[in-house]
Amino acid sequence: MRFTKMHGAGNDYIYVDCFSQDVNDPTHTAKILSRPHFGIGSDGLVLIKPSNNADCFMDIYNADGSRAKMCGNAVRCTAKYAYDSGNRKSVIDVDTLSGTKSVELIRENGNVTGGRVNMGKPILNGHSIPTRFGSSIVKGESLSVDNKNYEITCLSMGNPHCVVFCDGVDSLDLSKIGPLFEHHEMFPERINTEFVEVKGGEELTVRVWERGSGETLACGTGACAAAVASVINGLSKKNREIKINLPGGTLFADWTENGDVYLTGPAVTVFTGETEVL
């Protein structure tokens, strides 16, 4: 199987061109290849497939083999892959399980270095995220995790997110509390959790625990969720590009007046290769 390893701010996936080859068991393939030391090592697997509605379809599988609907970092990398493979459009449309996302490519000296993605409108209805908090906006709700109460804000950016504003995010033991949030009974489809420290109205420091992958160096939808939650809680303003500092790099999110969230960040090819999946 031929593959390309790519990352967006350290959020790395194994990309397979399924225009020219098939992956018969993506769940097994994701679990085997994502393992560090024993596989290629990644946050998951992305299959780039033909689409009737867009330039390509992005099919994502987390490191544990579970299927994901959307990833803001992976969609930029998928668009870069399409461009590098011969689709020389300045805007690449990528179909996902959360709808079609348009990626405006950022180029330097003819090379794609990143992109700006219209991530669509956040889903704020508690049932639709989904959570078990009810149908209203989930803001300032109390969630008991490991005998500690956390004040949370929840939303969906094509996948479910729980945002916790706190100080000292660098010292948090995410390997302990992350799984407790992910599998909490209030989240019927599990949850991605962002722990957010406010540096100013237009700057946040964020660590992310992703369902199915654990702590990742960056999360595109998580960065968007942190920005939206910051606006909802009166910590930031709409129509302002918010700098999101993550362990793997920096992303920028902007919740515009028309309701759409835009995400800007890098897209980097690491290496290409061939592997056998047993």
162 is catalytic: no
Q: Is 77 a catalytic residue?
A: no
What angle is formed at CA 247 by the lines to CA 240 and CA 42, rounded to 5 degrees?
115
Q: Which of 56, 71, 77, 162 is catalytic?
A: 71
- The radius of gyration computed from the CA coordinates of the chain, to the nearest angstrom, equals 18
Catalytic residue, from 77, 154, 162, 219: name it. 219
**Residues with catalytic annotation?**
71, 219
